[in-house]
Structure 1
Amino acid sequence: MESKFLRLGHACHLGVIVLLALMLSPWTVQGEDQLDGRKASRPDALGKAQLFLEAADSSMQSSPMLALEYAVKAEVLARRANDNRLLPLALMKKGMASYYVGDLGSAAEA
């Protein structure tokens, strides 16, 4: 039983760290596709998408709505970067989060 709580605590700490890293970053998903006045590079977008996927994983069962938001942001970034590796992962996480939220229609579409 202790190990389950330790894993949950570790996942929460990881989620907080990822969330802080995303909040302190000068570039946001809703904003322009630019970083300091320059066009954001593909590796920057892929790195952000990977962080959002990790955040979605860590909050999937504890906060499925938050996981859904992270998965949608990862999907947007993966589409912008035209990445065929992260896009399916983002769609899978989006579907899983939709299932946990209880939105079975959206889960089937993802």
Structure 2
Amino acid sequence: MYCWVKKNNSFMRRLSDHGKPPGFASIKEVIDTIFTTSALPINFDDMRIWKLWDAVVGKKIAEHARPFSIKKGILLVMVTDSIWLQELEFKTEGIKERLNNKLQRRAIKKIRFRVGIPGS
């Protein structure tokens, strides 16, 4: 079975000699291109932060704060309310240091906290 994706915004009804619409590429071609010609937008090793979070911050904090995203070394953490936001801002350096130690590299340069639904 073949699946085709568009390479550009044009649409043509005529099929090429090989049975795929012109301007389309196979999923295999797209994946090969991603892995050979460009850097992935995320570092999969950074995904360990979500797994390590509870052990690093403890159960009480984990109930009120969850990592949401990491981009360019900035970890965004969602917290339940402004009280926890302020409390965690005082603990930022310790959390950052413990996470980086567990990851065995300086993956997190900064932590930002935002009020929202943790884990969403």
TM-score, L = length of structure 1: 0.29
The structure with the largest strand share of the pair is 2
Structure label with greater radius of gyration: 2
TM-score, L = length of structure 2: 0.27
